[in-house]
Amino acid sequence: MAIRKLLTLSRRPFLLSSRSASTSAAAALASPDPASSPAKPPVMLYDRLSEAVRSKIKRLDDPDPRFLRYASPHAALVDHTPILAAPETRITTLPNGLRIATESTLASRTATVGVWIDAGSRFETDETNGTAHFLEHMIFKGTESRTVRQLEEEIENMGGHLNAYTSREQTTYYAKVLDNDVPKALEILADILQNSCFDDKRIERERDVILREMEEVEGHTEEVIFDHLHATAFQYAPLGRTILGPAQNIKTITKEHLKNYIATHYTAPRMVISAAGAVKHDDVVEQVKKLFTKLSNDPTTASQLVAKEPAIFTGSEIRMIDDDIPLAQFAVAFSGASWTDPDSIALMVMRSMLGSWNKNAGGGKHMGSELAQRIAINEIAESMMAFNTNYKDTGLFGVYAVAKPDCLDDLAYAIMYEISKLSYRVSEADVTRARNQLKSSLQLHIDGTSPVAEDIGRQILTYGRRVPVTELFARIDAVDASTVKRVANRFIFDQDVAIAAMGPIQSLPDYNWFRRRTYLLRY
The least confident of 25-34, 84-93, 471-480 is 25-34
pLDDT at 401: 97
For 131-144, write each residue's pLDDT tens digit: 999 999 999 988 88
Q: Quote the number of domains for the chain.
A: 2
Cβ atoms 102, 273 nearer than 8 A: no
**Contacts with 183 (C-beta within 8 Å, 6 or more apart), sequence order:** 283, 287
Distance set, CA 51 to CA 44, 324, 414, 500, 506 (Å) = 11, 35, 19, 33, 25
Give the domain range for residue 139.
Answer: 89-308
Stretch 94-118: mean pLDDT, rounded? 93
Q: Is pLDDT of 34 > 60? A: no
Q: Is pLDDT of 20 > 60? A: no
Residues 106 and 149 placed together within one structural domain of the fold: yes
The least confident of 80-94, 423-437, 477-491 is 80-94
pLDDT at 520: 84
Cβ atoms 197, 150 nearer than 8 A: no
Residues 288 and 340 placed together within one structural domain of the fold: no
Residue 425 inside a domain? The answer is yes
Cβ atoms 62, 234 nearer than 8 A: no
Q: Is pLDDT of 279 > 70? A: yes
Q: Where is 489: in which H helix or E strand?
A: helix 481-491
Q: What is the CATH number of the domain that holds 334?
A: 3.30.830.10
| CA atoms of 382 and 327, how far apart (whole Å) | 9
Q: Of 308, 339, 366, which one is at a domain's C-terminal end?
A: 308
Q: Is pLDDT of 41 > 50? A: yes
Residues 422 and 341 placed together within one structural domain of the fold: yes
Residue 512 inside a domain? The answer is yes
pLDDT at 52: 76
Residue 3 inside a domain? The answer is no
Residue 373 inside a domain? The answer is yes
Residue 39 inside a domain? The answer is no
Residues 244 and 382 placed together within one structural domain of the fold: no
| CA atoms of 404 and 506, how far apart (whole Å) | 11
Banded pLDDT at 503 (limits 50, 70, 90): very high
Q: Of 308, 338, 358, which one is at a domain's C-terminal end?
A: 308
- The DSSP code sequence of 26-57 is HHHHHSPPGGGSPPPPPPPHHHHHHHHHHHHH
Residues 191 and 104 placed together within one structural domain of the fold: yes
Residues 388 and 487 placed together within one structural domain of the fold: yes
**Contacts with 259 (C-beta within 8 Å, 6 or more apart), sequence order:** 198
Residues 135 and 228 placed together within one structural domain of the fold: yes
Q: Of 255, 281, 308, which one is at a domain's C-terminal end?
A: 308
pLDDT at 447: 85
Residues 341 and 237 placed together within one structural domain of the fold: no
Q: Is pLDDT of 410 > 70? A: yes
Residue 496 inside a domain? The answer is yes
Banded pLDDT at 194 (limits 50, 70, 90): very high
pLDDT at 365: 75
Residues 278 and 186 placed together within one structural domain of the fold: yes
pLDDT at 523: 52
Each residue of 499-517: b (16+ CB within 10 Å) or e?
Answer: bbbbbbbebbbebeebbeb
Residues 341 and 258 placed together within one structural domain of the fold: no
Q: Hey, what amino acid is at 179?
A: D
Residues 380 and 487 placed together within one structural domain of the fold: yes
- Rg (C-alpha) for the chain, rounded Å, is 29
pLDDT at 4: 42
Q: Is pLDDT of 168 > 70? A: yes
Catalytic residue IDs:
136, 206
For 145-163, write each residue's pLDDT tens digit: 889 899 999 999 999 999 9
Residues 96 and 245 placed together within one structural domain of the fold: yes
Banded pLDDT at 65 (limits 50, 70, 90): low
Residue 61 inside a domain? The answer is no
Q: What strand order describes the sheet that includes 316-321?
A: 316-321, 498-503, 328-335, 395-403, 383-390, 356-358
| CA atoms of 295 and 311, how far apart (whole Å) | 29
pLDDT at 18: 39
Residue 196 inside a domain? The answer is yes
